[in-house]
Structure 1
Amino acid sequence: MRVTIERSAFLKALNHVQSVVERRNTIPILSNVLVQAKGEAVKLTATDLDIEIIETVAAEVAQDGAVTVAAHMLYDIVRKLPDGAQLELDQGPDTGRVAIKAGRSRFALQALPPEDFPDLNAGELANRFTLKASDLKGLVEKTRFAISTEETRYYLNGIYLHEVAANKTLRAVATDGHRLARAQVPLPEGAKGMPGIIVPRKTVLELVKLIEGDDGEVEVALSASKIRFSCNGLTLTSKLIDGTFPDYERVIPRNNDKTLDVDTKLFSSAVDRVSTISFEKGRAVKLNVGDGRVVLTVNNPDSGSAEEEIAATYDAEPIDIGFNSRYLLDIASQIKSDTARFQLADAGSPTIVLDPSDDQALYVLMPMRV
């Protein structure tokens, strides 16, 4: 194999693929990236056996071939080369090493046989549809903060993506048992009849990186066990979480009759300020909601107390209710409107948070005792 490739394009592609490679691997080949040169392009592949990322980069290929080299080491080498550099990858008769040349720099990296590199064969992906990258990003961004990190309830360790036939939408839901985030977009053509799937947290994080700044379209193909996202010469294939997502509709309250409207930025800033002295674990902040105002209070026996009052629109009976401040800030960060709307019932019942400018998103927050 002999290839010449431009440094910035190669670096961008390596940055994408090497991110799925674990720093410590008991299987040596999984620490490597597969580099395949053919025609006028180089294809880079990396996998951790659960996720596979493939990206194709234009290159001058003098001799077709394939090699696997240490992903993070190759990325670090390319990253440290000067802008505008041209790299030459050359694997001669010694198939156990690959030479890298750029200007006056020379490297020789150990290589493993490409035929040993695992193939995350996706099999038959019967459901296929196309989504705007902005729509997919919206679904992910509005819900991923609520993904559970508790490994015992593994079926909550991802985003539940499913069709809602009643209103012809594609819906994303995530919950950790303390909060729930729900977002939806009109059902794309081809998604009708798709199985409900749980996309793992790591896959979600990689997907966010891949579609960042992309304003095109993403091709989605899925089965009950795997999903594939394709855009701009980049393909992300992932196994899905094998489990049953709980009936989340049961935790969304239907009779919250007290409506509180607050300025999103003022509220977020006030929560952030008063929570400075809260317990690291509890992070509880109490909201005393009354006519025309909300008083936010934090009491910490070890460090003191904090209180701040902000104006609000509220005309129901006064209510005292506590929330985890971190969860409040996470939800507030997703609200694009100037106003955040809370629909309350009582101090012990779940609260709904809405973005008045986005009727496709809904958040549910469990209260805390304070």
Structure 2
Amino acid sequence: MKVTLERAALLKALGHVQRVVERRTTIPILSNVLVRAGAGTLRLKATDLDLEVTEELPADVAQEGATTLPAHTLHDIVRKLPDGSQVTLDMSGDTGQLVLRSGRSRFQLQCLPESDFPDLAAGEMTHRFALPAGQLKHLIDKTSFAISTEETRYYLNGVYLHTMERDGETVLRVVSTDGHRLARVEMAAPQGSAGIPGVIVPRKAVAEIQKLIEDPASDVGIEMSATKIRLTLGAVVLTTKLIDGTFPDYGRVIPAGNDKMLVVPKSAFAAAVDRVSTISAERGRAVKLALSDGKLILSVNNPDSGSATEELDVEYDASPLDIGFNARYLLDITAQLDSDTAFLKLADPGSPTLVQDREGAPALYVLMPMRV
């Protein structure tokens, strides 16, 4: 194999694929990136056996071939090469090593055979549709913060993607929850997505998709089966196994009868929550919301360091209510709202609260209260 290409193009592609590679793995081949040269292109592939990312880029191929190289080492070398330089990967000898040349720099890298590299992308995809990258990023950005990190409830360690009928229309929904809060965002279902299986896309894959979306105006091709999903983002293809589990019936968690309406200025509310929560030893401590006619008093009491209160003028005309929330969760949700106000539907101190931009907004959040 012998191939020459631009350092900037190689660095960008390596940046995309090497993130998949775990820093610590007991299987040596999984520390490597597969490098295949052929027909004027260089193809890179990396996997951790659950997630696989491939990218193809144009290159000057003098001799076709393939091998695998240490992913993080290769990325670091290319990153440190001068801007605008050319990189040549040469494995024309029988030494089992690849020589990387750029200008006066020369590196010899130990290889592992291509035949040892696992292939995740096998299998038939039963459903195909496309989605504007900006819309996909919006769906993920608005829900990924609520993905659970608790490994025992593995079926919550991702976002739930599915379609459903609502008011005579098919909508595509993305849902996530960690048991304390829930995020649900929907949009009109793109052509071809009706009838897709409800799938749980793992947290690591969700994070990679967020990073790979670089042009919001482009389209993302989505293919899926009951066990895998593949996304094509330009020259990058990401394939991931899906979480083999049943996502809970989230509809039962979304309150329908909350009748106490609170409208607060979003920025002032978030700043006040942030300020009063400073007094708590942990940001997870409860902040108390005391609601009365047109007024909201936020307070935190910490026996070790003191107390804090702040008052806001709000739109609220229901009966007085005292309710507590995790301050960090409140801030996470308000950060997702696009409008200048936060619209909260409350019931009582022990029932979940609904948070939206406005009544009927496509993004909906549910937050469980805390005792105060």
User: Which TM bucket (shorter chain)?
Assistant: over 0.9
Q: Output aligned runs, 1:307-322, within 5 Å.
A: 307-322=309-324
- Give the match's secondary structure for 1:359: coil
Change (3 A) 1:91 1:127: same
- Tell me the distance in 2 between the aligned counterparts of 1:323 and 1:165: 33
Deviation at residue 94 of structure 1 after TM alignment: 2.4
Change (3 A) 1:61 1:190: same
Moved more, 157-166 or 88-97: 88-97
Hey, what does 1:327 align to over in structure 2? 329
- Tell me the distance in 1 between the aligned counterparts of 2:172 and 2:334: 23
Hey, what does 1:159 align to over in structure 2? 159
Hey, what does 2:113 align to over in structure 1? 113
Question: Is the contact between residue 99 and residue 106 of structure 2 (CA under 8 Å) also seen in structure 1?
Answer: yes
Equivalent position to 1:235, from 237, 248, 260: 237
Q: Output aligned runs, 1:95-106, within 5 Å.
A: 95-106=95-106
Letter in 2 for 1:259: M
What is the CA deviation profile of residues 135-190 of structure 1, one whole-angstrom value per residue up to 9, with x for unaligned ones?
Answer: 11111111111111111111011101011123310100000110000001111111
Q: Output aligned runs, 1:1-370, within 5 Å.
A: 1-166=1-166, 167-280=169-282, 282-356=284-358, 359-370=361-372
Deviation at residue 95 of structure 1 after TM alignment: 5.0
Runs (5+) with no aligned partner, structure 1: none
Change (3 A) 1:56 1:131: same
Runs (5+) with no aligned partner, structure 2: none
Deviation at residue 82 of structure 1 after TM alignment: 1.3
Letter in 2 for 1:296: L
- Give the match's secondary structure for 2:20: coil
Question: Is the contact between residue 122 and residue 226 of structure 1 (CA under 8 Å) also seen in structure 2?
Answer: no
What is the CA deviation profile of residues 89-133 of structure 1, one whole-angstrom value per residue up to 9, with x for unaligned ones?
Answer: 101222511011111111100000011110003411010000011
Deviation at residue 67 of structure 1 after TM alignment: 1.2
- Give the match's secondary structure for 1:168: strand
- Give the match's secondary structure for 1:215: coil
Question: Is the contact between residue 8 and residue 83 of structure 2 (CA under 8 Å) also seen in structure 1?
Answer: yes
- Tell me the distance in 2 between the aligned counterparts of 1:218 and 1:127: 14
TM-score normalised according to structure 2 size? 0.97
- Give the match's secondary structure for 1:131: strand
Deviation at residue 214 of structure 1 after TM alignment: 3.3
Letter in 2 for 1:22: E
Change (3 A) 1:294 1:13: same
- Give the match's secondary structure for 2:362: strand
- Give the match's secondary structure for 1:313: coil
- Tell me the distance in 2 between the aligned counterparts of 1:357 and 1:137: 23
Question: Is the contact between residue 337 and residue 357 of structure 1 (CA under 8 Å) also seen in structure 2?
Answer: no
- Give the match's secondary structure for 1:165: strand
Letter in 1 for 2:276: V
Letter in 2 for 1:328: L
- Tell me the distance in 2 between the aligned counterparts of 1:119 and 1:204: 20
Letter in 2 for 1:157: N
Change (3 A) 1:334 1:282: closer
TM-score normalised according to structure 1 size? 0.98
Question: Is the contact between residue 122 and residue 237 of structure 1 (CA under 8 Å) also seen in structure 2?
Answer: no
Moved more, 193-202 or 117-126: 117-126
Deviation at residue 193 of structure 1 after TM alignment: 1.1
Question: Is the contact between residue 336 and residue 357 of structure 1 (CA under 8 Å) also seen in structure 2?
Answer: no
Moved more, 45-54 or 156-165: 156-165
- Tell me the distance in 1 between the aligned counterparts of 2:265 and 2:121: 50
Question: Is the contact between residue 277 and residue 287 of structure 2 (CA under 8 Å) also seen in structure 1?
Answer: yes
Letter in 2 for 1:97: Q
Deviation at residue 357 of structure 1 after TM alignment: 8.6
What is the CA deviation profile of residues 13-37 of structure 1, one whole-angstrom value per residue up to 9, with x for unaligned ones?
Answer: 1011000100011110000000111
- Give the match's secondary structure for 2:361: strand
Letter in 2 for 1:214: P
Count of matched residue positions in the alignment of Structure 1 and Structure 2: 370
Deviation at residue 213 of structure 1 after TM alignment: 4.0
Deviation at residue 274 of structure 1 after TM alignment: 1.1
